[in-house]
Amino acid sequence: MGRAISKSLLNSGHRVILADRNADAVRELAAEMGNAAMALPFDVTDKTAVDGIVESLPADWRPVDILINNAGHDIGGRTRFDEGSPDDWSGIIETNLIGLMRVTRALLPEMVRRDTGDIVNMSSISALRIVPDMAAYTTSKAGVRAFTDVLRGELAETGIRVTEILPGLTRTNIIRTRYRGDTTKEKAYFDAYKMALDPADVARCILFALSQPRSVQIAQLVVLPLNRW
């Protein structure tokens, strides 16, 4: 998902800071994208790294105009809550919700000072519709939804737009990582649903929100595969 979003932003004329905990992968992607992209290896669960994110950027890459909060996982998910690992559950919340809030807190003050900017939070259809055996992931995304709504209210008198994107099943590596690299389980999962969004579909939704006049705010955008409801 991050790759598709980054390339869409680049193709629409933006410079892109690529943040990811996989240092090799993010540097490789930045090299592919050229001088308009910068690799920033860091983990959103690393408090020190997140709190120092602005200071870690070269002066000519500041300020940040658009924040896309896309980091997330479901490692250990699709397991009944009482049978799952407490460490798995807390890890999902730490990345999907707390990490998102920390990164936003680190970058938001400068947006407020300039009275402009965009924050796009990647939520999920799971924030709206419960699915058994996904307690931690659903809780994390419901938290993202609530946080995004509150943040939008707090910033209503500023020039900062806050958008929540709620995709349905998307063909990314989140299912493979959920099953810790088991590609057989990944294939069976996608096959069961027959249809999934492509990451580029979600990226187009983000660009749609960002391309609106500054007086227009796309608060929430739900996007689903055709065969879902």
User: Which residues are marked as active site?
Assistant: 137
d(CA 9, CA 16): 7
d(CA 97, CA 95): 6
Helix (H) or strand (E) holding 111: helix 100-114
Longest dimension (CA), the chain: 50
Tokens of 97: 């919700």
d(CA 203, CA 68): 11
Q: How far is CA 151 from the centre of its chain?
A: 16
What single letter denotes the amino acid at residue 94?
A: E
Gyration radius (Cα) of the chain, Å: 17
Residues 6+ apart with CB under 8 A from 30: 18, 37, 38, 39
d(CA 221, CA 182): 31
Q: How far is CA 72 from the centre of its chain?
A: 6
d(CA 57, CA 107): 11
